[in-house]
Structure 1
Amino acid sequence: MDPVIIVGAGPVGLALALDLARHEVPSVVLDDGPGLCPESPRTTVLRPDTTAQLTRLGCTAAATDGAVWDTWRVLRRRAEVLRIDLEPGRVRHLPQHRLQRGLRDAVGAEPLIELVPLHHVEELEPDDDGVSVRTRQTQDGRTTWWRGSHLVGCDGARSTVRKLLRIRFPGRTGVDRYAVATLRVELPFPGEARLHREPPWRGDREALARPLPDGVWRLDWRLPPGRPAPAEPVDPHATWPGIVTGDTLVARVRATLAGWCGEVPRYELLAAADHSVQQRLAGRFRAGRCFLAGDAAHLHGALGMQNLDDGLRDAANLAWKLALVWHRNAGDALLDTYEAERRGAVGARLRAVDQAMPLLRPVKGWEQARRSLVSGSFRKHAPLLADGTLGTGRFGSPPAYPVGGGAAVSRGGRRNTALSQDLAPTDPGVLVADVPVIAADGAHDRLHHRLGRGLLLVLVAPGTGVWASEHWLGAGLMPRLAEAAAALPMASEVVVAEVYPGAGAHTVLLVRPDGHLIGTMQGCRPEELAALAERARGGPAALPTA
């Protein structure tokens, strides 16, 4: 069968290729760039689920190259409004070029992936059996035709694939606009990410500092609305047109550092740019055998949201479904659930931002500002400012996918459209908790690290940690559970957890390859387990009556 064609070799496209390779699906990654990862002020904030995802794909940079924050702090003028002490590893912040290089290294070691740089896609011809793609080589102009079973456009906000498929990309431009700089400096709050609203030292509306590895910090300033942004990153030592007349980036950096440090410390300015935040959602994520993922499918970044995190979740959601269809282990209808789940999840985030924006932006007029200050509305709503950046709440938490064919299922048939954090850890559709588990070979691991190859059956069995695996593999539920797992219509693995939140002894959890819970049962009931697995792969099987 033909490989899957992926257009775009950014983090989402590379992650998708690696995930498909774990399912033994070959891919061709077409990229119009040269294959290099130049340094830039772009950074990414990874949450526990996406860090675990990248690590199991072989990208060690996700777990080793980032700066881990200890504290998130919000200030207004000179007063602290909010302080959150973070669990170790809760947030990891790293330059995007380091992440991309780590992914490219992993791709280079994978024989099932062919990475083709300097090829610009010009034409798509989908048919009933696959997709033909014509590219033009950017160096000599030669054209090449490629043939794939499916095609996924991961080619960014200006996606050629999306335009060729004539998929609309409605939304709003200029929701927020920021100046960004990365600099090497020593600040008096190491390990702390700090959001400063209305700082007292100058006319900035908002200044944000976030630590990066190697003594580097990323600083962001929210800029006045309605001014045009340069199309390209600007010289950091030049006057920035459109920000404040006569202002320079250097003056902005020095004033901010002096405000936080009492004086201007020694610093090295590494890179700078400015950018406008957009809120956009593609009208469709699927058109026959073609799909959109990452920035090609959605753009959001207001109030600290991280588009890359959701792009990586796109890749995790799509990879196992494409693999099942590619190997002819599932019907084509399973692929419809990609759009239903991922477009629904991102759309909910965008709606949440639209609802919260009026609460989190300074009001105009002295009387309104005075009432806002007296009422304490900013302090009341300040926790929302943490959600997008820290991966909590409606701006950042992993989604819980709705009940339906190919999605998580519930015996009661109720729909589940909330976030994982709003539901119990045993509710169908949630992202499963990352608890310690023991594999059949006795290896100790984390649950999220075992994801990505097939179904995961988690048996809650208190006390197994004190016994070698050969003692409990042939005891209790294990023989029957192993036999039932071997009979499932998808590849599966059985692991054991001593504890799982909300689950008693002998509970069995059935987990999708992307970590979302399909359902639970008490003990081993092969017919019910098979029905759950069949529904997860888009089959027609119904749950047995109790």
Structure 2
Amino acid sequence: MRDEHDCDVLVVGAGPAGLCTALMLAQHGVRVRIVDRKPGPVEQSRAAIVHARTLETLDRLGVAEAAIARGVPITDVAIHSSGKHVGEMPLAGKGEADQTRFPYALALEQFETERILGETLDVEWGTEVTNLSDTGSGVEVETGNGVITARWLVGADGASSAIRKFLGQEFEGETYEQSGLLADVTLDVDLGVKGMRLNLTPGGFVGILPLKSGRYRLFGVVPPYLHSGPQQQTVTHESYAPLDHEVLQRWFDDYFKVDAKLDEVVWASMFRFHSRLAAKFRVGNAFLAGDAAHIHNPAGGQGLNLGVGDAVNLAWKLAQVVRGEAPEWLLDTYEEERRPIAQTVLKRTDLGFKLETGNTAIAVWMRTHVATRIVGVVSRLAPIRRMFFHMFSQLWIGYRGSRAVGRAVGQLKAGVRAPYAPGVLDLTHTPGYHVLLFSVPPVRFDGPVTTHVIQPDDVAAFRAYQVDGPRLVLIRPDGYVAAVTDSAEAMETFLDTVLVRVQVRS
């Protein structure tokens, strides 16, 4: 069956979601090809925030250290109002070091993220998909460079996805009237900014993010004078429309309230705010991931991270089905698990965006007189700081109730992100399922399942996994708890539902 197609999986789109999908498939031994209509990698910084859960995913792929070396860890957002400091909100909470190996967000330009993910992949640039047909046993993809056949197709080709259109999927939602600005600049002074700086203004919000290169990312709402007068700008529905640089200094002076001049404008763009979601993430033998499946406004820097989450959720399932290790129904759980997450993120970012940019008299008054006072108070409360960290970091994402997870004995729930325990974490990074054995005799399972005996003196692991008796904890290839049992027989029963021909051996 494998030899009937040019590859097992064809990935269309070499952005973060597509590259992550292809990399994980390759690491699982799947024949994968990745194509992109662009002539080469992006050169702009574009998405520039990598959150904790995404860093954990990059760690599983073996590239987290490279990402950290090229980025700037960000732990706080300093909130200003008309240039005056009024409080801080965390992108990492106090005490979070015992919850994740990466208790911070990382300022990392998108071209760096893509370079790291694509280092070992052979991307076929300049390859545009012109037609797509589902053959029942696979897909046939027409490109400007010839026809490619594959058993499965992943469309990760961005907000204007050709794959989504070929699949006949509506991209339901809205495009906001408000527009945004992005710019990477150098300044004539060192701001000494160690975290992100957000300035609330009557017209909306703007922010500064330090980058490893010494540049600063400027972002925020478009001022009214860009939509009228001699310098009027036309904003298209494309993600990154061109922007004349000459107005940036005025924008910076009016909105940022920082005593500095722009030395160099490396890159600048206006863009549209969207909130859209594909009706289906799977159609036949094809899947949608990343911006091809969902786009939203940039509040909280969730987009790139959400796409990487799609990628890793889909890739391990495809790998196991391609290798004959899992039943094909497992692929249906990709949409079942990820689409509700995308819906939740869209709702949250929509709410945040409307609070930040609403132009009604009440919204402006709230930002000017109420929001800044609230920030100063709540930012000092530990539970609030913890809530904000988990919300932005995407550590909250889980799949309880999915068909791809089973039951759980004890306090630890199935479907949640596997708890962080330093002595255990690295054990589960190789492909396949991993069973952690707590206070039970050694046991082995046939199939893509590796067992690990957790030693009684590993107090941190027993505490993190809330073990109060004999336990077998099954960790999925994407780092989520699949099942928790108190016997090898019960674990074998569950494995028989998600894998093909699994038997227990003493």
TM-score using structure 1 length: 0.77
Cα deviation per residue 1:438-463 (whole Å; 9 max; x = unaligned)?
A: 6xxxxxxx34x733511122345xxx
SS in structure 1 of the partner of residue 154 of structure 2: strand
* 1:112-151 matched pairs, under 5 angstroms: 115-137=123-145, 144-151=146-153
Deviation at 1:281, TM superposition (A): 0.6
Deviation, structure 1 residue 8: 1.1
Give the structure 1 partner of residue 57 of structure 2: 53
Task: Give the match for residue 115 of structure 2.
Answer: 101
SS, match of residue 33 in structure 1: coil
Q: Partner of 1:503 in structure 2?
A: 466
1:191 aligns with 2:194: yes
> Which segments of 5 or more consecutive residues in structure 1 lack a partner in the other structure?
109-114, 138-143, 239-247, 413-423, 439-445, 461-475, 542-546
Alpha-carbon offset, residue 343 of structure 1: 0.5
CA distance in 1: counterparts of 2:142 and 2:179, whole angstroms: 37
- Residue 83 of structure 1: CA displacement? 4.0
Alignment partners' CA distance in 2, 1:450 and 1:179: 41
Alignment partner of 1:68: what SS? Answer: strand
Q: Which has the higher contact order (CA 8 A, sep 6+)?
A: 2
Aligned twin of 1:531: 493
Deviation at 1:204, TM superposition (A): 5.0
Residue 540 to residue 171, structure 1, CA distance change in 2 (3 Å): farther
Residues 32, 367 of structure 1: alpha-carbon distance in 2 compared, 3 angstrom cutoff: closer
Aligned pair 1:494/2:452, yes or no? yes
User: For the residues of structure 2 that align with 1:535 and 1:491, how far apart are their CA atoms?
Assistant: 14
Alpha-carbon deviations, 1:61-100, whole Å to 9, x = none? 4232111124222222324143438367511111111111
Deviation at 1:435, TM superposition (A): 1.7
1:352 corresponds to 2:345: no
1:144-169 Cα distance to aligned partner (Å, 9 max, x none): 11111111101111111111110111
CA distance in 2, matches of 1:368, 1:67: 33
Counterpart in the other structure of 1:469:
none
Moved more, 63-72 or 75-84: 75-84
Deviation at 1:403, TM superposition (A): 1.3
**1:479-501: CA deviations, max 9, x gaps?**
x43x33x33x4332426354232
Q: Which residue of the partner structure matches residue 480 of structure 2?
A: 516
- For the residues of structure 2 that align with 1:195 and 1:158, how far apart are their CA atoms? 30
Q: Secondary structure at the match of 1:333?
A: helix
Closer, same or farther in 2 for the Cα pair 1:378/1:222, shift >3 Å? farther
Q: Which residue does 2:98 correspond to in 1?
A: none
Judged with a 3 Å threshold, the aligned counterparts in structure 2 of structure 1 residues 51 and 372 are, in CA distance, closer, same or farther, namely closer
User: Contact 1:171/1:280 (CA < 8 Å) preserved in 2?
Assistant: yes
CA-CA distance at 1:43 after TM superposition = 3.1
Between the aligned partners of 1:358 and 1:255, the Cα distance in structure 2 is 21
C-alpha distance in 2 between matches for 1:345 and 1:537: 25
Q: Give 3-state SS (helix, strand or coil) of 1:344's partner.
A: helix
Residue 199 of structure 2 contacts residue 255 of structure 2 at CA under 8 Å; is this kept in 1? no
Taking structure 1 as reference, are residues 411 and 355 closer, same or farther at Cα in structure 2, changes over 3 Å only?
farther
Alpha-carbon spacing, 1:452–1:433, altered in 2? closer, same or farther (3 Å): same
Q: CA RMSD in A?
A: 3.5
Query: Which deviates more from structure 2 when the two are superposed, residues 22-31 or residues 186-195?
Result: 186-195
CA 1:6–1:163 in structure 2 vs 1: closer, same or farther (change >3 Å)? same
CA contact (8 A) 1:457 1:492 kept: yes
Q: Is the 8 A contact 2:296 2:349 kept in 1?
A: no
* 1:449-478 Cα shifts (integer Å, max 9, x gaps): 733511122345xxxxxxxxxxxxxxx74x
Letter in 1 for 2:200: R
* Structure 2 partner of 1:220: 219
Task: Determine the C-alpha separation between the residues in 1 that align with 2:182 and 2:350.
Answer: 24
**Match for 1:51: what amino acid?**
L
Contact 1:15 / 1:103 at 8 angstroms: preserved in 2? yes
Residue identity matched to 2:134 = P
Indicate if the aligned counterparts of 1:155 and 1:295 stay in contact, CA closer than 8 A.
yes
Change (3 A) 1:217 1:351: same
> Residues 321 and 334 of structure 1 are in contact (CA less than 8 Å); yes or no, is this contact kept in structure 2?
yes
Partner of 2:235: helix, strand, or coil?
A: coil
Q: Where does residue 463 of structure 1 map in the other structure?
A: none
| CA gap 1:29/1:363 in 2 versus in 1, 3 angstroms | closer
Work out the CA distance in 2 between the residues paired with 1:407 and 1:11.
Answer: 27
The residue correspondences of 1:254-273 to structure 2 (distance < 5 A) are 254-255=253-254, 259-260=257-258, 263-264=259-260, 267-273=263-269
Do the aligned partners of 2:358 and 2:364 also contact (CA within 8 Å) in 1?
A: no
- Partner of 1:132: helix, strand, or coil? strand
Question: Which structure 2 residues correspond to residues 160-179 of structure 1 after superposition, within 5 A?
Answer: 160-174=162-176, 176-179=178-181
Structure 1 residues 46, 493: CA separation in 2 closer, same or farther (over 3 Å shift)? farther
Q: Which of 84, 88, 92 is the equivalent residue of 1:86?
A: 92
TM-score normalised per structure 2: 0.82
Which amino acid counterpart does residue 324 of structure 1 have in structure 2?
Answer: Q
Q: Is residue 53–residue 395 contact of structure 2 (8 Å, CA) maintained in 1?
A: no
Per-residue CA deviations over 1:162-209 (Å, capped at 9, x if unaligned) read 1111011101112752111111234434312111101xxxx7532201
Distance 1:176 1:330, change over 3 A: farther
CA contact (8 A) 2:90 2:389 kept: no
One-letter identity of the residue aligned with 1:86: A
**Which has the larger displacement, 495-504 or 317-326?**
495-504
TM-superposed CA distance for 1:277, in Å, is 1.8
Contact residue 36 and residue 125 of structure 2 kept, 8 A: yes
**1:527 alignment partner, SS class:** helix
**Contact 1:75 / 1:197 at 8 angstroms: preserved in 2?**
yes
The change in CA–CA distance for 1:498 and 1:282 in structure 2 (over 3 A counts) is same
Change (3 A) 1:96 1:382: farther
* Aligned CA distance change for structure 1 residues 273 and 357 (closer, same or farther; 3 Å): closer
C-alpha contact (below 8 Å) 2:199/2:207 kept by paired residues: yes
1:237 to 245, 254, 259: 245
Task: Give the structure 1 partner of residue 249 of structure 2.
Answer: 250
Does the aligned pair in 2 maintain the 1:453–1:513 contact within 8 Å?
A: yes
CA 300–237 in structure 1, closer or farther in 2 if over 3 Å, else same: closer
User: C-alpha separation between the residues in 2 aligned to 1:217 and 1:513?
Assistant: 36
Instruction: Please state how far the C-alpha of 1:297 moved relative to its aligned partner.
Output: 0.5
AA of the residue aligned to 1:508: L
- Retained in 2: the 8 A contact 1:428–1:518? yes
d(CA) in 2 for partners of 1:368, 1:221: 16
Deviation at 1:133, TM superposition (A): 1.1
In the alignment, structure 1 residue 454 sits paired with structure 2 residue 432: yes
In the alignment, what sits opposite 2:155?
A: 153
The answer as to whether partners of 1:303 and 1:353 remain within 8 angstroms in 2 is yes
Please, which of 329, 332, 336 is the counterpart of residue 340 of structure 1? 336
Distance of 2:371 and 2:251 partners within structure 1: 31
